[in-house]
Amino acid sequence: MRKALRSLVFAGLAAASLSAFAQQTGGLRVDFLGPGGHSSGNYGRTSALHAAARSVILMQQALPAGSYRFTNLTGGNSVNSIASDGLIEMRLTAANASAYQSLVTAATNAANAGAAAENAFRNVKVGDLTSGAPAWIRVEVTPQP
């Protein structure tokens, strides 16, 4: 009886370990790129950091609680400038590879929607130029180990 009970306990521990092992986890790096500029002379330009912040809100709405963790949100390089760059770094956790890919897709869609919202707020369309450079916010999503 004691041996059978011990086997059941170890079997339960093994099953718990297996479910943790079966989880799919990984990082996601989302870069936002824009024209940037000085806050005085270039007032009204799109801000890559604003696009990143809009995207964080959309990601929180789109991703299931407990499936993500933001590890970094940063951008810009001066207190009196319009950010030409924004960065979100996050960790994703899912039950399996298929669910993980769904999280990556949802996060990517939210990032693109955040950039589109910033572009729309500033009345900028893809293809618009400012001082010869792209005026719109672009998004690059890169999976990380």
The rounded distance, in Å, linking the Cα atoms of 112 and 48 is 12
Per-residue pLDDT at 3: 54
Q: Which helix (H) or strand (E) holds 135?
A: none
The rounded distance, in Å, linking the Cα atoms of 115 and 137 is 6
pLDDT 10s digits, 85-141: 999 999 999 999 999 999 999 999 999 999 999 999 999 999 998 888 899 999 999
Domain at 24-144: CATH architecture: 2-Layer Sandwich (3.30)
pLDDT 10s digits, 46-88: 999 999 999 999 999 999 999 999 999 999 888 889 999 999 9
